[in-house]
Amino acid sequence: MHPVRVNGFVCKNPMEVNADDFFKAAALDKPRVTNKVGSNVTLINVMQIAGLNTLGISIARIDYAPLGQNPPHTHPRATEILTVLEGTLYVGFVTSNLPAPARNKFFSKVLNKGDVFVFPVGLIHFQFNPNPHQPAVAIATLSSQNPGAITIANAVFGSDPPISDDVLAKAFQVEKNTIDWLQAQFWENNHN
């Protein structure tokens, strides 16, 4: 007999479900080491807690180094609500390619401890810690048990195989050697 899947994840027999299906010792209260751009996202979704399947929620702790950022990205399956726990964050998102004058409208705000900001589903957004001396921490809740994340620069310049430099040079209206240089930066980071 094949297991029943919902949203691509196996559903346990209800008679076999236990408390551990709804639990993870995630240590979200502990600071994390940040990456090259100065952030670290610790996501807790259906892949870490099986009991989240079909519930439509997940959570993430995001640590920001001084001047660190969670670079422009999108969640194709979730709206995000971000709460600043420590520090200050400059955040923003861009609307979709709507008809003028609303086309690609940029919304941004500086958030302090306790402030909340919403990033609508699928829109490109970012967070940046403007403080050169202090880290920042936020908690994000997302309206999907598997929100997905597409970091724009990584996807465009670090794809495997690479997107043609002719295509990207025309799209970004820059010289091909600029695209080649960008692809080399992301290829090295994404494929080593």
Domain extents in the chain: 29-155
Phi, psi (deg, nearest 5) at residue 59: -145, 150
Which residues, other chains included, contact 90 with Cβ-Cβ below 8 Å and sequence gap of 6+?
Answer: 108, 109, 110, 111, 127, 128, 129, 130
pLDDT tens, position by position, 29-73: 999 999 999 999 999 999 999 999 889 999 999 999 999 999 999
Is 70 annotated to bind a ligand? Reply is yes
In terms of phi and psi (left: phi > 0; alpha: psi -120 to 50; beta: otherwise), the region of 90 is beta
**What is the model's pTM?**
0.90
Which residues, other chains included, contact 109 with Cβ-Cβ below 8 Å and sequence gap of 6+?
Answer: 90, 91, 92, 115, 117
For residue 185, count other CB atoms closer than 10 A to its CB.
12
Looking at this protein, which amino acid is placed at residue 87?
G
Chain centre to alpha carbon of residue 84: 15
DSSP, collapsed to helix, strand or coil, labels residue 105 as coil
DSSP, collapsed to helix, strand or coil, labels residue 50 as helix
- CATH fold of 29-155: Jelly Rolls (2.60.120)
User: Does residue 3 register a pLDDT over 80?
Assistant: no
Looking at this protein, which amino acid is placed at residue 13?
N
The burial of 63, by beta-carbon neighbours within 10 Å (0-12 exposed, 13-18 middle, 19 or more buried), is given as: buried
Q: Residue 24's pLDDT is what?
A: 95
pLDDT tens, position by position, 134-173: 999 999 999 999 999 999 999 999 999 999 999 999 999 9
Is 80 annotated to bind a ligand? Reply is yes
Structure tokens at 16: 């076999």
pLDDT tens, position by position, 91-142: 999 998 777 777 889 999 999 999 999 999 999 999 999 999 999 999 999 9
Q: Residue 188's pLDDT is what?
A: 67
Is 125 annotated to bind a ligand? Reply is yes
Chain centre to alpha carbon of residue 131: 21
Classify the C-alpha dihedral 164-168-170-171 as positive or negative.
positive
